[in-house]
Amino acid sequence: MTPHMTIGGERAAARAHFAVINPATEENLDDAPACQRDQLDAAFEAALKAFPAWSNDEDTRLAMLSELADRIVAAGPELVDLLVLETGKPRDLAEIEISACKTWIDYAIATELPRTFLARDAHANIEMRHRPLGVVAAILPWNFPIVMTITKLAPALRVGNTMVIKPSPFTPFSSLRLGEIVNEVVPAGVVNFVSGGDEVGQWMTAHPTPRKVTFTGSIASGKHVAVAAGADLKRVTLELGGNDAAILMDDIDVGPTADAVLARAFFNAGQACALPKRVFAPAGLYDEVVDAFTAAAERVQLGASDGPLAMGPLSTRPQFRRICELVTDADAHGVKATTGGGRADRPGFFFQPTILTGASAGVRIVDEEQFGPALPIIPYSNVDDATRMANDTMFGLCGSVWGQDLERATKVAERLECGVSYVNSHGVHRPSVPLMGSKWSGIGMEHGLEGMLEFTDPHVVFVAPRLTDTALT
């Protein structure tokens, strides 16, 4: 592991360190640089200094983003190696993460900021435009370190901002290496990469320089970020946790539906924000559904490095402890595991793919975001009942409805209180489609034109005729 922090286009000397663990072995991977306060100040200063030139030259920005996409593709194998080591995810999932970066950058390049004419008459030409905010602070979680950095970086740079970026302390190396690659392309100071613990995130949100904080992480941290950003009226986008419902309609083809829902629920070992985390099944089909999910979970290949059924360990020790704790708590409340139910008998943070029956609201595994491969299946008597249970939460990221009758399923999906409702799919993202949470799952949007606009301030330009041409209006 050699990646360094990049501040003002230069490698920053590490004056303090923190340990990073390989979740597949529980061994120390290496020490990562812990950013010091004066280094963070230098990063923000460099970003501020780089802003005027960067924001004034769109052609250069587009050309550099295009070059960056190519460089990430070229560095793919190296970045994949780092991702596998620090997240534990299967190699092909890491490859998908890296190859997605070009798609997101290409979308940003192709997306133009709108100029909207609000009035064009004898009295004035009035136009709504958008301009960059200045310096953006980006704070990232550990589950998709590279692609999530790119989904923030591409639109933020596209519209002319400069940045200071902090990856999760659990997965700093791939991001720091990405930072070195980015800095081979963009001018010094445009994008600064620092690493460190939660306190560095707190310094970033309290720092006077950034005009926006874009944050992806837990609801608990998101609330702190909102308070800190609010104190300085910084713009803020929060993409936070989810406890998504998947409602199975009574016309499902049980086997294929169970396979499809489970594949989404256990994607990245269940460690993604927008995945089915509570499954609601019609009471009349309940036993058949549980059997099908159990069979699907038993086909998962824990520890395999490739293939559609491969699943890695939990990526962090706290997350591993959390999933162990939630399943133990469920057991104490009479919830049964039809398969799995505990840690795998091997080193590393591997947890057995687990299907749970007999869980309901009031048990933590249902009420909280588990973020791991343990899925409760809850019976419902009618669709109103299922919708009520699905919505009876302060989470509101995504949700899904699965069934053959698309019209009926869509009507139910429309009633889900969340940012994105899927029918026969879940947690599939496209660069052009905004992602946002309702309730506690977030503020603002990412992705799509709407997400890009969040890296700008609206700006009305009101042009009245020459005073010599007309009377003052």
Q: Which residues bind ligand NAD (CB under 6 A)?
A: 139-143, 166, 168-169, 197-198, 201-202, 205, 216-218, 221, 224-225, 239-242, 273, 369, 371, 397, 435, 437, 442
Catalytic entry in 35, 101, 273, 398: 273
CA distance 268 to 263: 9
- CB of residue 170 vs ligand NAD: minimum separation in angstroms? 7
Q: In the complex with ligand NAD, which residue's Cβ is closer, 199 or 253? A: 199
- CB of residue 473 vs ligand NAD: minimum separation in angstroms? 47
CA distance 114 to 143: 33
Q: In the complex with ligand NAD, which residue's Cβ is closer, 55 or 271? A: 271
Residue listed under structure tokens 């340990």: 19
Q: In the complex with ligand NAD, which residue's Cβ is closer, 134 or 196? A: 196
335: tokens are 């919830």
Verify whether residue 418 is a known catalytic residue: no
In a 13 Å sphere around the CA of 440, the CA atoms on its Cβ side amount to: 19
- CB of residue 214 vs ligand NAD: minimum separation in angstroms? 11
Residue listed under structure tokens 């962090």: 316
Task: Give the start-end residues of each E strand in 353-447.
Answer: 354-357, 374-380, 398-402, 420-423, 442-443
CB 400 within 8 Å of CB 422: yes
CA dihedral 170, 245, 433, 132 (to 10 degrees): -50
CA distance 426 to 409: 13
Q: At what angle do helices 286-298 and 254-265 cross, to 10 degrees?
A: 50
Strand-pair partners of 301: 310
Q: In the complex with ligand NAD, which residue's Cβ is closer, 368 or 457? A: 368
Q: In the complex with ligand NAD, which residue's Cβ is closer, 216 or 421? A: 216
Q: In the complex with ligand NAD, which residue's Cβ is closer, 238 or 292? A: 238
- CB of residue 245 vs ligand NAD: minimum separation in angstroms? 15
Which of 280, 291, 219, 222 has the alpha carbon at shortest distance from 255?
A: 291
Q: Which residue is nearest to ligand NAD (CB)?
A: 201
CB count in 10 Å sphere of residue 278? 26
CB count in 10 Å sphere of residue 465? 14
- CB of residue 193 vs ligand NAD: minimum separation in angstroms? 12
Catalytic entry in 97, 239, 369, 454: 239
CA-to-CA separations, 390 to 244, 276, 278, 353, 401, in angstroms, rounded: 8, 11, 8, 23, 11
Q: In the complex with ligand NAD, which residue's Cβ is closer, 108 or 314? A: 314
CA-to-CA separations, 55 to 52, 60, 129, in angstroms, rounded: 5, 10, 15
- CB of residue 443 vs ligand NAD: minimum separation in angstroms? 11
Verify whether residue 239 is a known catalytic residue: yes
CB count in 10 Å sphere of residue 411? 13
- CB of residue 55 vs ligand NAD: minimum separation in angstroms? 25
Residues with a catalytic annotation lie at: 239, 273
